[in-house]
Chain A
Amino acid sequence: KNEVEQSPQNLTAQEGEFITINCSYSVGISALHWLQQHPGGGIVSLFMLSSGKKKHGRLIATINIQEKHSSLHITASHPRDSAVYICAASMDSNYQLIWGAGTKLIIKP
């Protein structure tokens, strides 16, 4: 069983829909990261959070430490949001990120 699990693996939605991607983890963490990767490579860090909720534009990330669960929400989704979204966990003990498998999101116009 992976220590960080994401769902769904793939998600296709229409432009304007509210999107939710979920991440569950089984290890003690210091922070949970959400990252975005567009086709062709570059990875962008969207959020790093250890409690509560963060918002940046149309993106919202939440974390429930007790339930070991995090969600990434996209409001008013747009085709340019199409990408792979990855959650990753970091721990105090080392530099490593424990990566989820990613969610491939396609937003159709």
Chain B
Amino acid sequence: DTEVTQTPKHLVMGMTNKKSLKCEQHMGHRAMYWYKQKAKKPPELMFVYSYEKLSINESVPSRFSPECPNSSLLNLHLHALQPEDSALYLCASSQVKGYSTSTDTQYFGPGTRLTVL
């Protein structure tokens, strides 16, 4: 199984809503990533979890709150978002190479298309 799944596929929310994005993989990968992608731009890294611990937070506003409840699941909790947060949110996973933090091939999910009204 080389699949990363993401739910929901589409999400429309108001600025006062609280919602969550979910990502799951069963490849035994111990690094998981959240990316944000705006139209016609490459993905921007938001967070990296390594062995279920937050390894990288790319100065993401606190209205985005990641959670890694176990080695297969990654959530992104959303609260009080702004219209400019509308984007495609991609989850990815990869092997961790021993003690190195170099990324192995990343496997991406299909993404959640988020619209904030």
A→B interface (CB under 8 Å):
30-31, 33, 35, 41-45, 48, 86, 88, 90-97, 99-102
Contacts and interface: CB of A to CB of B under 8 A. Distances in A.
B105 A45 contact: yes
A96 B45 contact: yes
Contact of A102 (B42, B100, B110): B42
20 contacts: A41-B88, A41-B110, A41-B111, A41-B113, A42-B108, A42-B109, A45-B105, A45-B107, A48-B104, A48-B105, A88-B42, A92-B100, A92-B102, A93-B101, A95-B33, A95-B56, A95-B103, A101-B41, A102-B40, A102-B42
Contact of A30 (B41, B102, B111): B102
Contacts, number: 61
B110 A100 contact: no
Q: Which 4 residue pairs spanning A and B have beta carbons closest together? A: A99-B42, A41-B111, A43-B108, A42-B110
A101 B50 CA distance: 27
A92 B104 CA distance: 10
